[in-house]
Chain A
Amino acid sequence: MKTRISNLQLTLLTANFITASTLLVMPQAYLDLSLQNTWFVPFLWFLLTTLLITTAFVGWNKIETLDFQSDETRSSRTGQKLLAILMILFLMFILIRDLRAFTDFTGTALLELTPQPVIIFTSLICLLYLVWLGFEVIARFNDIYFSLLFIIILFLPLLLLNEIDMAKLLPPLQINAVPSILQTTFVGLAWVGELVIIFLFVGNVQPKSDVRRSVIWGVGLAVIFIFILLGSIISVLGSTLARYTVYPSYILVRQINITDFLDRLDLLVVSFWIPAIFSKMALTFYGIHRSFNMLFGTDTKIFLVPLALIIGFLSMMMFGNNISHFYFSIYVWSTLGLLLEILIVAVFMWIVRKERLAQSRDG
C-alpha cells in the first residue's frame, strides 16, 4: 500500500529535520562568530532557504505525480538514480555525524560511564525499529514529539524569566557586525538546507499542490524555534560565556528554576528533545533505505540491518575525538553539505522538468 502523509506532517518533519541536531551541536559555533547578534541570523536563513525551495519547485504544480516508489513516474531512470546516489552520500554523512553528536552529548552530559559503542548500538536498535515500521510511523512519531518540544520551547522565555538579562543583547546589530553575521549565515546554511531530504518524500504528500507552502511553513517554524533558543541563550548565559560552552542549549535548559523546588525541568525538556533527535535520525535512515531501493530498483528492507551496522561503525571510526567531530560539523559540512544540497536541488529540478515534458508529450 502506498504511504501517505499530510501537509501538516510534512511541515513538522521539515521543522524537526532543521532544528533537532542543529541545536545540539551548532549554537556554540554561531555564538562564537556573531556573539550577541546571533539571534538575527535565522531570519537570513529563512530568506535564503525560501529562495532555494521556490526555485526547486518551479513547475511542480504542472506535473500530475512524482513518486519515486512507483513506476508511474515517467521521467528518466538516470535522473532518479543520480538523485539516489547523491541522497545516499548526503544522508550517510548526516546520519554518521548526528549519531556521533548524539553519542558525544549523551556521554558528556547524561550517561558519563556508559561506553560509546553501547550508546551507538542501542540507539541504532531504536532507529531500526522505527525505520522498519515505515515512513508514516516516523511522521506520526515526529508529530507527537516535535509538537511537544515546540510548545516547550515557545514557553522557554517565560520559564527563564527570572534569569533573563536584556542588557546581554546589547549592542544590537552594529554595522561592523555585518561580516560576522554573514559568516554565521554561511556556516549554518548547510544545516538548514538539509531539508532537501523532503524531495525523496514529496510524492507521498497529499494534496500535492500545497507541498511548497508546507515546506516553507516548516522552515518558518524552525526559524522561530532557533530564534527563541538563540535569543534565550544570549540573554540568559550571555554570548561571552556561551561561546566557550560545549552544549549551550543544554546549559540553558538547566537554568530553569521556578521557585526552589521546580529546578530540574531540564529533564522534561531533554525527554522530548532526545525523541525529536531520534525522529530526525530515523527519517535520515529511512531516506538512505529508500534511496538504495531507488538505486537498485527493489522494494525490500533486507539492507537495513547491515546498513545500520555500517553506519554505527563509521560513526565511531571516522572521528578521532569530539573535537574532530566538531571541526567536521563546522568547517567541512558547511562546504560539503552546501555543495551536495545544491547538486540535489539541481537534479530534482531536472527530474521535474523531464517529468513535465514527458507528461505533456503523453497528452
Chain B
Amino acid sequence: MITSIISWIILIMTYAMGKKLFKEKRHARIWFVVFSIISMVLSVLYAFDKNLVMVTSRIESIFAPIARMVIQ
C-alpha cells in the first residue's frame, strides 16, 4: 500500500516538475526521464516484495573474502 502511494507520488512529482523540466537542456531532460523510470521500476518491484539481495550477495562474493582473509 505504502509503495503504491510512493509510486503515485513519483508520478505526481514528475508531472509537477514538467514546467521546469522543459526549460532544461535536452540531455538533462533525457536523464531525468531515465531516473524517473528506474525509480518507478524499483517501486513496483518493492510493491511485489522483490528485493536486490542477489546483487548485494554478488558484490559480497567479490569483496568480502579479501576482508575475511585479513581479519582471520
Asked if B63 and A314 make an inter-chain contact with CB atoms under 8 angstroms apart, the answer reads: no
Report the minimum CB–CB distance from B21 to chain A (whole Å): 6
Asked if B31 and A328 make an inter-chain contact with CB atoms under 8 angstroms apart, the answer reads: no
Asked if B68 and A117 make an inter-chain contact with CB atoms under 8 angstroms apart, the answer reads: no
Tell me the complex Cα distance, A330–B72, Å. Answer: 13
Size band of the interface chain A makes with B: 35 or more
Chain A residues, Cβ within 8 Å of B56: 318-320, 324, 328
Output the nearest chain B residue to A307 by Cβ-Cβ distance: B35
Tell me the complex Cα distance, A303–B50, Å. Answer: 25
Asked if A33 and B43 make an inter-chain contact with CB atoms under 8 angstroms apart, the answer reads: no
Tell me the complex Cα distance, A298–B32, Å. Answer: 12
Asked if A335 and B35 make an inter-chain contact with CB atoms under 8 angstroms apart, the answer reads: no
Tell me the complex Cα distance, A332–B35, Å. Answer: 27
Q: Is the interface of B mostly helix, strand, loop or mixed?
A: helix
Output the nearest chain B residue to A313 by Cβ-Cβ distance: B42
Tell me the complex Cα distance, A335–B65, Å. Answer: 9
Asked if A328 and B32 make an inter-chain contact with CB atoms under 8 angstroms apart, the answer reads: no
Q: Pick the contact of B59: A115, A306, A332 (CB < 8 A).
A: A332
Chain B residues, Cβ within 8 Å of A292: 31
Asked if A303 and B68 make an inter-chain contact with CB atoms under 8 angstroms apart, the answer reads: no
Q: Pick the contact of A314: B10, B31, B42, B67 (CB < 8 A).
A: B42
Output the nearest chain B residue to A182 by Cβ-Cβ distance: B70
Which chain A residues (304-335) contact chain B, with CB distance < 8 Å? 305-307, 309-310, 313-314, 316-320, 324, 327-328, 330-332, 334-335
Asked if A331 and B52 make an inter-chain contact with CB atoms under 8 angstroms apart, the answer reads: no
Asked if A335 and B66 make an inter-chain contact with CB atoms under 8 angstroms apart, the answer reads: yes
Q: Pick the contact of B71: A33, A117, A327 (CB < 8 A).
A: A33
Tell me the complex Cα distance, A115–B5, Å. Answer: 14
A300 at the interface (CB under 8 A from B): yes
Chain A residues, Cβ within 8 Å of B25: 298, 300
Asked if B39 and A306 make an inter-chain contact with CB atoms under 8 angstroms apart, the answer reads: yes
Which chain B residues (44-72) contact chain A, with CB distance < 8 Å? 45-46, 50-53, 55-56, 59-60, 63-64, 66-68, 70-71
Asked if A309 and B39 make an inter-chain contact with CB atoms under 8 angstroms apart, the answer reads: yes
Asked if B42 and A309 make an inter-chain contact with CB atoms under 8 angstroms apart, the answer reads: yes
Asked if A121 and B63 make an inter-chain contact with CB atoms under 8 angstroms apart, the answer reads: no
Q: Pick the contact of B24: A298, A305, A310, A328 (CB < 8 A).
A: A298
Tell me the complex Cα distance, A184–B24, Å. Answer: 48
Tell me the complex Cα distance, A324–B55, Å. Answer: 12
Report the minimum CB–CB distance from A341 to chain B (whole Å): 13
Tell me the complex Cα distance, A336–B14, Å. Answer: 34
Asked if B46 and A316 make an inter-chain contact with CB atoms under 8 angstroms apart, the answer reads: yes
Asked if B35 and A303 make an inter-chain contact with CB atoms under 8 angstroms apart, the answer reads: yes
Output the nearest chain A residue to B16 by Cβ-Cβ distance: A305
Which 7 A-B pairs give the minimum distances between C-beta atoms?
A306-B35, A313-B42, A309-B39, A331-B64, A335-B63, A331-B67, A317-B52
Contact sample, A vs B, 28 pairs, CB 8 Å cutoff: A118-B2, A121-B6, A186-B71, A187-B67, A296-B28, A298-B27, A300-B24, A302-B21, A302-B28, A303-B35, A305-B17, A310-B38, A310-B39, A310-B42, A313-B43, A313-B45, A313-B46, A318-B53, A320-B56, A331-B60, A331-B63, A332-B64, A332-B67, A334-B70, A335-B63, A335-B67, A336-B59, A336-B63
4 more CB-based (< 8 A) A-B contacts, given A303-B31, A317-B45, A335-B66: A298-B24, A303-B32, A305-B13, A306-B35
